[in-house]
Amino acid sequence: MRTLVLNAGFEPLAVVSFRRALMLVMNNKATVIKADAEHPIESTSEFFERPTVIVLTRYVRIPFARRVPLTRRGVLRRDSQSCGYCGKAANTIDHVRPKSRGGADSWENLVACCFRCNNIKGDRTPAEMGWRLLVNPRMPSGPSWFAVGIERRDEAWEAFLTPAA
């Protein structure tokens, strides 16, 4: 079981094991916001709810620049595992402007792509194929993109990961 850790300002920071979360709570470094009452933790002398979301009592400054690292998994996640050309399930990524033509490995030049579209397109541009992109490839933003280990989400976390409108 995993626990979402929120900074004191309620922005997602990381996902940790429930044991680590429980230690943060027991050491008064965090407070439980949401707990799983169906799977409690019992010791010989105490009973604890299993934390699913905790918030740190002190604000933690993030030392790194807020740039989302470019990964294959990140491109697929950004495009919701849907092909940027036909909309079907994607299992590969494609350079919009092919690398053979100077296309960069960047958020703006990569899209999720199904195997079929990737093979048909080859080293051509979408314009040469008469295709148009269904997505606007750009670096993702939002608090959930900076939290470590957030790729596999838990339903209990959704209210804390979606930006307020």
Count CB atoms within 10 A of the CB of residue 95: 21
pLDDT, tens digit, for every residue of 31-55?
999 888 787 778 788 877 889 999 9
Closest CA to 133 of 148, 147, 121, 149: 121
Q: 41: burial class by Cβ within 10 Å (0-12, 13-18, 19+)?
A: middle
Query: What's the pLDDT score for residue 165?
Result: 43
Q: How far apart are CA 84 and CA 86, in angstroms?
A: 6
* Global pTM value: 0.60
